[in-house]
Amino acid sequence: MSLEADTRTKTGEVVDCSDETFQIEGSEVSNCDVVFDGILKVEGALKGNILSAHGTLLMTARGHVQADVDVLVAIIDGYLEGNLRAIEHVVLNSKARVHTPSLSIRDWRCI
């Protein structure tokens, strides 16, 4: 399932992405909560919240997210502004840009 470039959501709308893979691409999806299982691939802009107890957020270099993120795994290769919580792990790839007033790394291990 994909949310295309010309798609806009209503302010405060909850987008339920229960499919195995959901992709956001193109222009801005304003002020919505995205709840998903599986993989959420962000190749566009998103504002709001991203929530998944069992899912993976995959942000490409074209991804631009202003959201609080609470997921199992986060793989970031784009711009993220907001609170990030990943239960299992976070990967910040070489093009990742994270805007935050503070950054803490606990239980750090080199794999």
Asked if the structure places residue 106 within a domain, the reply is: no
pLDDT above 90 (res 22): no
Closest residue by Cα to residue 39 from 51, 24, 22 = 22
Asked if the structure places residue 68 within a domain, the reply is: yes
Range of the domain at 25: 2-98
Cβ pair 46, 62 in contact under 8 A: no
Asked if the structure places residue 33 within a domain, the reply is: yes
What mean pLDDT, rounded, does the chain reach?
Answer: 77
Task: Compute the half-sphere exposure of residue 40: CA atoms within 13 Å on the CB side of its CA.
Answer: 33
pLDDT for 20 equals: 57
- The total domain count for the chain is 1
Average pLDDT over residues 39-68: 91
Asked if the structure places residue 108 within a domain, the reply is: no
93-108 pLDDT per residue, tens: 988 888 777 777 676 6
pLDDT for 48 equals: 87
pTM for the model stands at 0.75
Asked if the structure places residue 105 within a domain, the reply is: no
